[in-house]
Amino acid sequence: MLRRHASGFRTLLMLADAGLAFVLLAVLSIARFGDNWLAVWRPLVDQPALVAAGYAATWVVILWLHGLYRPRARWSIRSEALAILRATIILGLITGTVLFAFKLPDVSRLFLIALFPSQWALTLATRVAMRFVFERLRARGYNVRYVLVVGEGARGQAFATKLEGHRELGLSVLGFVDDEAHKLPAKWKHLGPVDMIESLLHAEVVDEVAICLPFSQWERVNAIAHLCEEEGKIVRVPVDMLDRAFAAGRFEDLDGTPVYSLVSGPDRLVALVVKRAFDIAVSGLALIVGSPILLGIALWIRLRDGSPVVFHQVRTGLHGRKFAMLKFRTMSVDAEFRLEALMAKSEVAGQAFKMTADPRVTRSGGFLRRTSLDELPQLWNVLRGDMSLVGPRPALPREVDTYDLWHRRRLSMKPGITGLWQVSARRSASFDMWAQLDLSYIDRWSLWLDIKILARTLPAALNGR
């Protein structure tokens, strides 16, 4: 199975199964023994919480051994129910063996009779509910990753069918490119010839590229893979036999089809999930705790500079996704219209604009910019999922249009409020230097690196750096 996507789904299932097994044990104990349930358990076991944790861990291991964390295209409630039933029987046998071995005959039989059917029903209901919720969310476009398929012949269509058959992966086929048009199902569309791939990568939201061309075009496959790597896209090459390898990659499997995957950028999905959870926790807490500061700044701007207080600007995010980035307004209302006349005075060489004594900055804007307080509304962008706390800065679409090929790999990671170049080379006059630091961050990314950058951001902001 494609590791990046399967590992996240598997981890979520494991956490849900373990947590619910722990809770179920406590709930049934309360239902059977009342509010003094701990007093009932303690004569039998010294640490009821550790026993519950061991029970939950054992349940997860049994489910793992029964293959219930392996994504399947042909999933059905009946097959899942039977597999969980077999696992429940094993759990019951193991529990009985443990009770006999440790001579614990006083455990309530009524409690055990209720435990195992409840465990089976809860586990099955959880999985059905999770799949239903994920399918509804992805049907509405949430957390969907888009795949461009190169080659729309039998190989390309078969691979696309397998991808979309695994709904839990959250992959959706954007369309196909091929020099020869083939008959496609109504749900898919032909986007143009193969030579259009670079313009499509720039014009559309493309997260992954599946190259399904025949091996007679191997040189072309190699060139397309190199282009997509430079753009920061994940490349999938379904093959039956590979007689030549790229510079780096790994073999994976999709329903028996060997897939050679080239992954540039962070690919530790569990760590990325933790990063997202960290973003939600920190941004949510900061918005609540900092609400008086946000309100105070908003009132100050309103009284000194008038409305609007918050500035909305379209920026380019992960793999070209457009979103409205929020900032406290620090410039005149007509700032966008005056930009063209100031472009020649930019102090940055390359695809970005920066001017120290910008005449468009308002009376309160200078202070807000020096202290980076104007960035605080972006905490809402982080909470929504458009941005992260740490990452490459989101660029304007017009800047992205002028990027060199190697610059575009900045878009392979979610943009952030702060980043490596903001705390180390913010005053550099070269956009290429900023981009190199962003790519260094992407290549070296870890949760620890995020924490170090955040730790350096606050003093840098307070000192006006």
- Comparing 93-102, 370-379, 401-410, the range with the smallest average pLDDT is 93-102
pLDDT at residue 353, as a whole number: 65
Instruction: Say yes or no to pLDDT of 13 above 90.
Output: no
pLDDT at residue 243, as a whole number: 43
On whether the CB atoms of residues 235 and 228 are closer than 8 A, the answer is yes
The domain ranges of the chain are: 3-139, 145-262, 269-462
Of 310, 313, 305, nearest in space to 364 by CA: 305
On whether the CB atoms of residues 445 and 413 are closer than 8 A, the answer is yes
Q: Tell me the sheet residues that pair with 211.
A: 150
- Comparing 5-9, 15-19, 253-257, the range with the smallest average pLDDT is 5-9
CATH fold of 145-262 reads Rossmann fold (3.40.50)
pLDDT, mean over the chain: 81
- Calculate the dihedral angle through the C-alpha atoms of 457, 459, 461, 462, rounding to the nearest 10 degrees: 160
Percent of the chain with pLDDT over 70: 78
Higher pLDDT, 421 or 63: 63
Higher pLDDT, 20 or 170: 20
**Residue type, position 35, single letter:** D
Instruction: Say yes or no to pLDDT of 161 above 60.
Output: yes
pLDDT at residue 38, as a whole number: 67
Region 6-17: mean pLDDT is 78
Region 263-270: mean pLDDT is 63
On whether the CB atoms of residues 419 and 453 are closer than 8 A, the answer is yes
Region 380-407: mean pLDDT is 90
How would residue 247 be classed by pLDDT, with cut points 50, 70 and 90? very low
Could you identify the residue written with the tokens 């700032």?
A: 335
Region 420-437: mean pLDDT is 76
Region 345-368: mean pLDDT is 72
Region 434-450: mean pLDDT is 86
Work out the widest C-alpha separation in the chain, in whole angstroms: 86
pLDDT in tens, 32-58: 777 676 666 666 666 777 778 888 899
- Comparing 122-136, 179-193, 341-355, the range with the smallest average pLDDT is 341-355
pLDDT at residue 118, as a whole number: 92
Percent of the chain with pLDDT over 90: 19
